[in-house]
Amino acid sequence: MSDSSFQRRKRVLSGVQPSGNLTIGNYLGALKQWAREQHRFESFFCVVDLHAITTPYDPAVLRAKTREVAALYLASGIDPAISTIFVQSHVPAHSELAWLLNCITPLGWLYRMTQFKDKSAKQQAESVGAGLLAYPVLMAADILLYQADAVPVGDDQRQHLEITRDLAQRFNHLFGETFTIPEAMIPLAGARIRAFDDPTAKMSKSEASEYHAVHLLDSPDKVKKTVLRAVTDSGREIAFSGDPERAGVNNLLELYEALTGQSRDVIEAHFASARGYGDLKKEVAAVLIETLEPIQARYRELTRDDAYIDDLLAEGAARAAEVAGATLALVHERMGFLKARA
């Protein structure tokens, strides 16, 4: 074996907020791909509870969702023997580095973030928390603590990854080489699943309307209802299309493509003899149910006993804290903090 084979595997870090209900979009665009790639990378997957408190929330729901999201990571195939799964707040270095980075973050960078503009517009101006503005700085801390080389994120997080890179560069420039500059890893397929009730909007896990999304824990009956109600157009041709008028049918086809892994030609040929969109919807619902069934079965198994998840999360946090702690110690030294006597 050559020496280079002992170089460390490239490191990846990503996270999901424990809010709302994870959707098929989260699975196809994130969890499924994380699980598939976990062998190639040294992976850290975080449940970002500290991010979930940047908009109004219910503490009891936060606690329940934190376990739920961790269990869904596992049920989606992320293997805790290979990857580190942990809860962000269990590793205090995240909050600590976020504060340090806040002090070198120009406010102008934060006011420019589209997510801040969108989310703050939904609240009374006077009640928007400082944490919502500083959200990207905490995300930068998540990533930089692990010296991550790559960060799998959706398109909507691209800007936050840019700020992370800018902050890493700024820190390295001010205090000396400290952080790895991470690259974005934008998922290929399934990342653009649209809402069933509005194909012009991205499918969201925090949308309250009933037939907006298929959630990972939805019953087969609910899945069927949601897909059969999906907004389409008045035509009947079942073909992939970039025409905004036909976004609903295109979304169903892209979903079918991501779920079955079949090529577009094969899919279009398959539906050529369909009598209308109803046939397409029935088949999409069927493959969705088939995909969710084993995930839900594993989820039920894993959550039979909370202690099982909590033990895994404790192990994950210990492993994460080792890596994060080493980076934080280096940051303290670089920034000129007096070392506390042991």
Catalytic residue annotation: 119, 202, 205
142 binds ligand TRP, rule: CB under 6 A: yes
Does residue 143 interact with ligand TRP by CB under 6 A? yes
The least distance separating ligand TRP from the CB of residue 19, rounded to whole angstroms, comes to 9
Comparison of 41 and 277: residue with beta carbon closer to ligand TRP: 41
Cα separation, 109 vs 106, whole angstroms: 6
CA gap 109, 111 in Å, rounded: 6
Name the one range near ligand TRP by CB under 6 A: 137-145, 203-211, 224-232, 255-263.
137-145
**How many residues contact ligand TRP, by CB under 6 A?**
13
Q: Which of 72, 133, 139, 144 binds ligand TRP (CB under 6 A)?
A: 139
Of residues 144-173, which lie at the interface with ligand TRP (CB under 6 A)? 151, 153, 157, 160
Neighbours of 326 (CB within 10 A): 13
Q: Which is nearer to ligand TRP, 138 or 259 (CB)?
A: 138
Pairing outcome for strands 11-16 and 42-47: parallel
Q: How is the beta sheet containing 150-152 ordered, strand by strand?
A: 84-87, 42-47, 11-16, 150-152, 183-185
Residue bearing tokens 């397929």: 189
Q: Do 319 and 84 meet the contact criterion of CB atoms below 8 Å apart?
A: yes
Identity of the residue, 71 or 153, whose beta carbon is nearer to ligand TRP in the bound complex: 153
Nearest to 47 by CA among 26, 38, 37, 56: 26
- CA 203-207-209 angle, to 5 degrees, is 105
Closest to 335 in 3D by CA, of 140, 99, 123: 99
Which span (7-15, 73-81, 169-177, 235-243) binds ligand TRP, by CB under 6 A? 7-15
Task: Say which residues have a Cβ less than 8 Å from residue 291's Cβ, sequence separation at least 6.
Answer: 24, 27, 259
- Of positions 13, 22, 70, 101, contacts ligand TRP by CB under 6 A: 13
Which residue in the set 11, 12, 15, 91 belongs to the binding site for ligand TRP (CB under 6 A)?
15
Site membership for ligand TRP, residue 120 (CB under 6 A):
no
Which residues inside 27-66 make contact with ligand TRP, applying CB under 6 A? 48, 51
Would you give the DSSP letter of residue 191?
T
Q: Which residue, 117 or 236, has its beta carbon nearer to ligand TRP?
A: 117
Paired residues of 14 in beta bridges: 45
CB of 4 to ligand TRP, least distance (A): 28
DSSP-assigned beta bridge partners for residue 244: none
Least gap, CB of 160 to ligand TRP (angstroms): 6
Contact between 14 and ligand TRP by CB under 6 A: the answer reads: yes
Q: Under the rule (CB under 6 A), what is the footprint of ligand TRP?
A: 13-15, 17, 48, 51, 139, 142-143, 151, 153, 157, 160
